[in-house]
Amino acid sequence: MDMCRVAVLTYQVFRHGDRAPMAGSTSRESESYYFRGKEQLTDKGLQQAYQLGLSLRRRYVDNGFLDARFLPSQVVFRSSPVERCLMTASAAASAMFNLTEDGRPIAVPIFTVPKKDDYVCVPRLECPFVVKEMAETLGLSSPSPTMYDLLIELFKQESKRLNYTRVVGNRLHLFEPLFLEHDAGLAVPQWFDDEARKEADHLLDLTIEFLSGTATFHNPSWIITRSGKLLSTIARNHKKAVEQSLGGVKFFAFSTHDATISALLDSLGILKEALAPQGRPDFTAAIAFEVWRNDSGHYVK
């Protein structure tokens, strides 16, 4: 006979949706397509976030776990203060719940804190101790390298190690925007062919591994500055859920970044399995933690 199972609490940790290149656009067509500006969410990213919200609705609202009218006492959305994360959280939240009686989307509150104070949703990429170790890993002797310096050195070393023929020299500054522009169906230079895309794809994977301290660059000291506070927050609230001291909250959502997602997966020992075949989280990639209760007690799945 099956034991009675009851869902108690769920956490969703997800990456923002499709965005404009970090390094800016490479053409006027690209500037027009990415009209919100560098690093901002695209219309495609908004649609991805909305679809994420619909999947969360099917999982947690349609079955009655959460009230379809949206009750603030049940649901907490928290986001990195970066606009693309805030927009992703807002779009996903609006898709989860019913329209109001006059047919308007519900404006679900999204909680955030200033970037300098956010240790939960913002990976601390420029922690001085970690930056020093990153420079040492690359053999850089510069006394105060910037993250840009570190990444360019990383790309130079890897392209040389793998004997790249396309993404080399000055092109190391261009592969990220060109990769995204190509994905968006925009025109790219003739040299950015299938081989160049393959090289760029690997460098993008390597970038996230380096920034998150995972896979090739696995380092617990780096990982803890990327996702340690988030993981401890989840664990602490799991304990509160078991103690029934969360005041009725049943759903937490965290809108964050790829380095946070990768670091969290590595902390759980499931990085490779979760991300295969590529080495970085997709846009709106999500990790779900669910606390359940049965006749034997509480457990997480």
Which residues have C-beta within 8 Å of that of residue 141, sequence separation ≥ 6? Answer: 135
Residue 16 is among the residues annotated as catalytic for this protein: yes
Catalytic residue among 18, 118, 258, 266: 258
Taking the C-alpha atoms of residue 83 and residue 36, their distance in angstroms, rounded to an integer, is 11
* CA–CA gap between residue 147 and residue 170 (Å, rounded): 18
Contact (CB, 8 A) for 78 and 252: yes
Q: Are strands 75-79 and 297-300 parallel, antiparallel or unpaired?
A: unpaired
Q: Which two tokens stand for residue 123?
A: 């990976």
Residue listed under structure tokens 């779009």: 91
Catalytic pick among 16, 202, 238, 257: 16
Report the amino acid identity of residue 97: F
The CA-based dihedral angle spanning residues 228, 233, 236, 237, taken in that order and rounded to the nearest 10 degrees: -150
Query: 30 with 297: CB under 8 angstroms?
Result: no
Active site residues per annotation:
16, 258
